[in-house]
Amino acid sequence: MMTSREQEVVELIELLFFAYRDFVSDPDEILRDYGFGRAHHRIVHFVGRNPGIRVAELLDILRITKQSLGRVLKDLIESGHVEQREGDSDRRHRLLFLTEKGESLRRKLVGPQIERFSAALKASGPGSTGAYRDVLLHLVNPEDRKEVEARISRNLAMPVLD
């Protein structure tokens, strides 16, 4: 059997599924025009948000194998959306950057997602942003929480250039 408290939680579980389902649907459509998939999107997104990220870091974010990453990353390098540079301090490192072309794609993909989110936050009560943040952050594995928190807010400190 199931307590009504558990029933309530299961509703939230399903809501996460439905929200995620629709949330990724906008980029999916755009990506088709480029012959890219969701895997490409993730790379474009996280490289764009973390310029100079190392391959190993990207693997840790995505939680996939280097072989899986390699195949898709190769597409993006060959198409001129991503470029690699040697690390300064450690020349084994391959630092990843978006080209202008890549940055343009990133913005195109994130646009509808920002719109959808802004509308959702507007439609929800004030303070909903904080609560959303609290809950979602605590869904992340405890041992990863600090890193995730640092990663998502990293760019706030960056000067906003034009």
What residues make contact with DNA under the rule CB under 7 A?
Answer: 35-40, 42, 54-56, 62-74, 84, 90-94
x/- track of binding to a copy of itself for residues 37-76 (CB under 8 A)? -----x--x---x-------------x-------------
| Residues in binding contact with a copy of itself, number by CB under 8 A | 64
Phi, psi angle pair for 97, to nearest 5°: -140, 150
Interacting partner of 22 out of DNA, a copy of itself, none (Cβ under 5 to 8 A depending on kind)? a copy of itself
- Beta-carbon contacts of 153 under 8 Å, excluding residues fewer than 6 positions away, are none
CA distance 133 to 128: 8
**DSSP-based three-state secondary structure for 62:** helix
Burial class (CB in 10 A: 0-12, 13-18, 19+), 82: buried
Would you tell me which residues interact with a copy of itself (CB under 8 A)? 1-2, 4-23, 25, 42, 45, 49, 63, 110, 113-114, 116-121, 123-125, 127-141, 144, 148, 151-153, 155-156, 160-162
